[in-house]
Amino acid sequence: MNTTALEVFINEVDMPIFQALFDKFKIKTKVLKKDSPKKLPIEKALPNEETHQAFMEVKEKGHLLKRYKNARELFEDIDNED
């Protein structure tokens, strides 16, 4: 007896139709659960005291910071800092 292995992806709504065919023709199946979406390994941590103070300073004095409309303005300001 020859053996052939196939890997197929069947929508959940279509699965009952295909399962009936597989049963009729005595085709062995193995249904795997759909993997959950891959997640990036993001490390969760609390900021240290220095970082926390920097965040608080930006929150309190953010309106005093320079703002730029685009990168060109930023680089021109850096070039003219002298």
pLDDT in tens, 38-80: 778 888 889 999 999 999 998 898 788 888 999 999 999 999 9
Residue 6 lies in a domain: no
pLDDT of residue 1: 66
Residue 40 lies in a domain: no
Residue 34 lies in a domain: no
Contact (CB, 8 A) for 47 and 55: yes
Domain count for the chain = 1
pLDDT of residue 71: 94
Residue 33 has pLDDT above 90, yes or no: no
Place of tokens 């020859």: 2
Domain containing residue 56: 49-79
CA angle 55, 61, 66 (to 5 degrees): 100
Torsion-angle region of residue 74: left (phi > 0), alpha (psi -120 to 50) or beta? Answer: alpha
Distance CA 53, CA 55 (A): 5
Confidence of residue 3 (pLDDT cuts 50, 70, 90): confident
Query: Span 1-27, mean pLDDT?
Result: 87
pTM of the model: 0.37
